[in-house]
Structure 1
Amino acid sequence: MLNSVKTLYSRQSDDLKGLVKGVFWSLFGSVLSKALVFLSWILVARILGRESYGEYGLIRNTVLMFSAFAGFGLSVTATRFVARYINEDVAKSGRIASLTLSFSVIMGLSISLIVFAFSDVIAQSVIKDARLATDFRIASFILFFSALEGAQTGVLQGMRQFRRIAVINLVNAFVSFPVFVAGAYYFGTTGSVVALGITTMVLCIQNQAAIYSFAKKGLISLNFRQGWKEWRLLYIFSLPAALAGIISIPLKWYTDVMLVNTSGFSAMGIYSAAFLIYTIVAVLANTMNAPFVSFMSGSKADNDVIEKLNILVPWFLGIMIGLPFLCFPEAGGYLFGKEYQGEEFNSTLVFIILYMIIVMYKQGMNRIFIVHNMQWINLMTVTAWGLILIGSFYMLKEYASVGLAISYCISYTLVTILIYPLYVKRKLMPLEFIISRNVLTIWGTMALAAYLSLSRVHWGYRIAAYVGIMAVVVFTFKNMLKSKVKYNLFSHE
């Protein structure tokens, strides 16, 4: 078996070999590190309880919202353009890396100071809980490190240093676990926020050390003064990428605030716990996102295998990880403890998993936007998604966390359908991936699994359904991978 795999690997193109190595190291580091991080998050949720974990979840989401402003789309910019020029023009790739790093410092400091100054306003006037003002002041410092970390990671991904990233993530996971657990246990919500800041800072230090070590070896040439010669990238690529985050994340945050104001922090705690499952899968998918974007940006050759893997792997990964929770949402309740168990959590988790699978389905499509420099179009779809999300939840807010989860499903489904004509018109996606027997089979099985869980069908029947659905999914994806249909992802520039 091992010899067969080696033989198959040796026959592939250099691009595909590089992609396989990149994905392997990204997943290796991510699976090990995120397993520890996920375990620490579960323990934090159990230690804090629904109410306090809801507070922490809202603070963390607030950090993510302002990180979208501070990050300015620099991570994906670095990944895209450092990868493009790293082998052709080392000086240019170095200028791009220098630009993204220096601009991330400027944006990070600026947004951090603004949030620090308005922490009382955010806590009292928006969240309507003055107790959280101190936590928001602490969280403001995280924004600087978060912005810098995004740019640093983008540079390393653009250089295709996935093995080093894997090591960094693993080290950070071992640091994060005791820090998060101790922070939550001894200092509650505030301790958890401080722990988030410490782990983000440690990650920044490791990333910067790695970048400087590669610069000393001559793999990249950093020149922060010369870097500003590439400022046009900030408008052409970073700005629309940043605006997509600046628009979407505040809209998501607004729905979080709506949930807290209508149903309290307890409902937010249930939603945050259920959303952790999505977060883990999204992180795993993003670890594959970097190798795909890097190799697709730097490759000049057609490779139908990479094109299909780009589209199919995230969707397959999302289904494989999400299906157990879709069929048995009670398992999630047992993970987080008695406070979270019940129909509200189970139903919330089912819709969160459905949303996650839809997101993973569109993950490959999003990479097409990046590779084809279609970020402005992506911005429009993100704006539409956010507005539909708010409108949907406004009508469903009486259903608390379940209503918010359903709203995510509705908004992402509608936006995905709305963008289909563009992909077809520009021949960026074959109809086979949009509407075909294979695609309809997958969605049909996902709908069946969700129906069985929401209808509280006996677990014995759900076990049988789970086994059958798994077999159908594997068989269907195998057929799609073997298909001779061209995906045309490399026909760019």
Structure 2
Amino acid sequence: MTLDGLFRMVLPARLHERVSGSAIATRLAHGSAWSLFGSAGSRLLVLATMIAVARILGQAPFGAFGLVQSTLGVVGMMAGIGLGSTATRFVAQYARTDPQRAGQVIGLVLSVSSATVLAAAIALVASAGLIADAVLGRPDLQSALVCGAALMSAMAFRGIQNGVFSGLQKFDTIARLAILEGGLSLAAAIPMALMLGVEGALIGLAASAAAVWIVGRTALASTLKSRGIAIRYRGALADWRILTGYSLPSFLANAVATPVLWFAMTLASRSADGLAGVGTYYAAYQWHGPMIFVPVVLMSVSIPTLVQEWEAGRRARFRKVTFWICGLTLAIALPPATAGALLSPWIMSFYGPEFRDGWAVLVFLLAAAPLHALAKISSGALLGMNRAWWVLAINMAWGATVIAVTLWLLPAHGVLGLAIAFFSAYLVLSTLAFGLVLAGSRAEASAGLSPRLHDSNGTA
């Protein structure tokens, strides 16, 4: 079935005609087709890699692997400081109308990220012993954290690179690179895990991410040349207001989400379930991601289009397109999440017989997927409205919910309590995000605001 066929199933006829008859639907459908292909292929390969690594390592070592990955996510988030989404937002705004300004934004993002990622990697290596002992309570994970510094760096650079490609709407390139990375991860992580355990799996993933980043650099240079965009490092700091007006709130929004999940997993590792429980949770969490990969794709594809609609002052059409994507997202996310919940004992058995009893954890993580999907699209719309501070506010509500419910349920229910907290938090987040999109777009449309001459962050 084509994407247009799915649109017809989900949307009211009048709304479908209004949107699909326009260039918006053409851009979204083309970008979505490539992104769906790349995300589906990549996620299947990553899922196969994680299943194989779990069977090689066993439940408790796989829990240690997941705990290290979560720690790397926190450090990587700090290293990236929201620069990937910043590149998408402002390259999309300027790529067609002001190629010189687009090149300046790219220069700003690349120069700042080079410094922050390098600093984060050095800090992680230097403090690996302290983090492993005092924070994680696992001194034996020091070497894994040192190996993980390479993975953190490669993934941070890959995320920023994909942000630039998204702003240029080069979703076919993102898809090809994602599949290449998935294939290389499968080929590298499994033999390395067999040889070196947790450290080997991390090294294998780092090597594949670094290789794909190098390939991506060549592809990006070719794309920029064809668009007449030259990366400008000199004078790039003139756009520093982008960092305070957009990158900072985007970073702070992630600075809520990523550390909260890490903190919750750290609490779980110190509970009665220990690393075995974390291994169960991390295995189940691998299936939450595939359930929302379509919304993630639709969000990345739609942000450049929504930015252009919003900046042009077409508030009503912006709102209709957002609702259109939300409806499609829920229709796609609900069936596989339901099927996965029904098959949860069998799915968990893939990872090994000791994982089977964690099927209820998987059920709650899958139940959270449609809510997470709706929150992703709504948050993307808020970013398109240049309301990054709003995204920060609702992410703080999400984080408070995760921590409160985890502290309440973890002592009695172990990692199942963490899964329930995850579900509860996304119920809160999706409600707030969708409500703010509805209220914000209607308020400006009712006010009859004209297209803005300046960004809300102060840049021209």
Identify if the C-alpha distance between structure 1 residues 417 and 20 changes in structure 2 by more than 3 Å, giving closer, same or farther: closer
Q: Cα–Cα, structure 1 residues 373 and 328, in superposed 2: closer, same or farther, change >3 Å?
A: same
CA distance in 2, matches of 1:184, 1:284: 30
Equivalent of residue 312 in structure 1, options 327, 330, 348: 327
1:9-48 aligned at under 5 Å gives the runs 12-48=21-57
* Residue 73 in structure 1 maps to residue 88 in structure 2: no
Structure 2 residue 144 is matched with structure 1 residue 129: no
Could you tell me which residue of structure 2 aligns to residue 290 of structure 1? 300
Give how far 1:84 is off. Answer: 1.1
Please report how far the alpha carbon of residue 414 of structure 1 lies from its aligned counterpart in structure 2 after TM superposition. 3.1
2:346 corresponds in structure 1 to 331
> d(CA) in 2 for partners of 1:13 and 1:356?
30
Residue number in structure 1 paired with 2:394: 381
Distance 2:36 2:383 in 1: 21
SS at match of 1:326: helix
Q: Work out the CA distance in 1 between the residues paired with 2:81 and 2:364.
A: 30
Structure 1 range deviating more: 383-392 or 54-63? 383-392
- In structure 2, list runs of 5 or more residues that go unmatched: 6-15, 453-460
SS at structure 1 position matched to 2:169: coil
Give, in whole Å, the separation in 1 of the partners of 2:91 and 2:217. Answer: 16
Kindly indicate whether residue 363 of structure 2 is the aligned counterpart of residue 354 of structure 1: no
The answer for the alignment partner of 2:10 in structure 1 is: none
CA distance in 2, matches of 1:314, 1:11: 16
Offset at residue 303 of structure 1 (A)? 6.5
Counterpart contact for 2:402–2:421, Cα < 8 Å? yes
**Over residues 260-303 of structure 1, what are the superposed CA-to-partner deviations in whole Å (9 max), with x where a residue is unaligned?**
01121100000000000012234443222211001111234536
Q: Say if 1:487 and 1:323 are closer, same or farther in 2 by CA, change over 3 A.
A: farther
Distance 1:381 1:362, change over 3 A: same
1:372 to 379, 385, 391: 385
Residues 292 and 370, structure 2, Cα contact 8 Å, conserved in 1: no
1:341 corresponds to: 356
Alignment of 1:404 onto 2:418:
yes
Aligned partners of 1:389 and 1:410 also within 8 Å = yes
Matching residue's letter, 1:306: V
Most deviating of 298-307 and 172-181: 298-307
With structure 1 as the length reference, what TM-score do the two structures score? 0.82
Q: How many corresponding residue pairs?
A: 431
How far apart, CA to CA, are the structure 2 residues paired with 1:63 and 1:492? 41
- C-alpha contact 1:75 1:150 (8 A) present in aligned 2: yes
Provide Cα deviations, 1:198-253, integer angstroms capped at 9, x if missing partner: 12212211221111112333442211123222111001100000011112211211
Q: CA RMSD in A?
A: 2.6
- Worse-matched range after superposition: 86-95 or 357-366: 357-366
Q: Does the 8 Å CA contact 1:97/1:155 hold for their aligned counterparts?
A: yes
Q: Is the 8 A contact 1:248 1:382 kept in 2?
A: yes
Contact kept? 1:371, 1:492, Cα under 8 Å: no
CA contact (8 A) 1:107 1:147 kept: no
Q: Cα offset for 1:132?
A: 0.6
Partner SS state of residue 350, structure 2: helix
TM-superposed CA distance for 1:177, in Å, is 0.9
Q: TM-score, normalised by structure 2?
A: 0.88
Match of 1:53 in 2: 62
Asked whether the 8 Å contact 1:311–1:363 carries over to 2, the reply is: no
**Offset of 1:428 from its aligned partner?**
4.9
Please state how far the C-alpha of 1:167 moved relative to its aligned partner.
1.4
Aligned AA (1:48): L
Q: Deviations over 1:23-80 (max 9, x none)?
A: 1011111212221221111111122111111000011111111111011111111111
Amino acid in structure 2 at the alignment position of 1:65: V
**In the superposition, relative to structure 1, how do residues 487 and 71 fare at CA in structure 2: closer, same or farther (>3 Å)?**
farther
SS at match of 2:137: coil
Unmatched 5+ residue regions in structure 1?
Answer: 430-485
Residue 374 of structure 1: how far off its partner (Å)? 1.1
Deviation at 1:192, TM superposition (A): 0.9
1:492 and 1:52 map into 2 onto residues whose CA distance is 55
Alignment of 1:94-493 (within 5 A): 94-262=103-271, 263-299=273-309, 300=312, 302=317, 306-342=321-357, 345-398=358-411, 399-418=413-432, 422-428=436-442, 493=452
The 1:107–1:409 alpha-carbon spacing in structure 2 relative to 1, beyond 3 Å, is: same
**1:427 Cα deviation (Å)?**
4.6
Instruction: Give how far 1:141 is off.
Output: 2.5
When structure 1 is superposed on structure 2, of 255-264 and 193-202 the one drifting more is 193-202
One-letter amino acid matched to 2:241: R
Greater shift, 192-201 or 307-316, is seen at 307-316
Q: Partners of 2:441 and 2:293 in 1: how far apart?
A: 29
**CA distance in 1 between partners of 2:319 and 2:23 (Å):** 14
- The change in CA–CA distance for 1:419 and 1:166 in structure 2 (over 3 A counts) is closer
Give yes or no for contact 2:375–2:434 (8 Å, CA) kept in 1: no
8 Å contact kept, 1:325–1:353: yes
AA aligned to 2:347 is G
1:422: how far off?
Answer: 4.0
CA distance in 2, matches of 1:282, 1:194: 27
Q: Distance in 2 between matches of 1:386 and 1:304?
A: 27
- TM-superposed CA distance for 1:142, in Å, is 2.4
Asked whether the equivalents of residues 304 and 487 of structure 1 are also in contact (C-alpha less than 8 Å), the reply is no
Q: What do the CA deviations read for 1:400-456 (whole angstroms, capped 9, x no partner)?
A: 110100111222323444566644543559xxxxxxxxxxxxxxxxxxxxxxxxxxx
Q: Contact 2:66 / 2:282 at 8 angstroms: preserved in 1? A: yes
Shift in Å, 1:190: 1.0
Change in Cα spacing, 1:277 to 1:131, as seen in structure 2 (3 Å) is same
1:369: Cα distance to partner?
A: 1.4
Question: In structure 1, what is the Cα distance between the partners aligned to 2:381 and 2:215?
Answer: 30
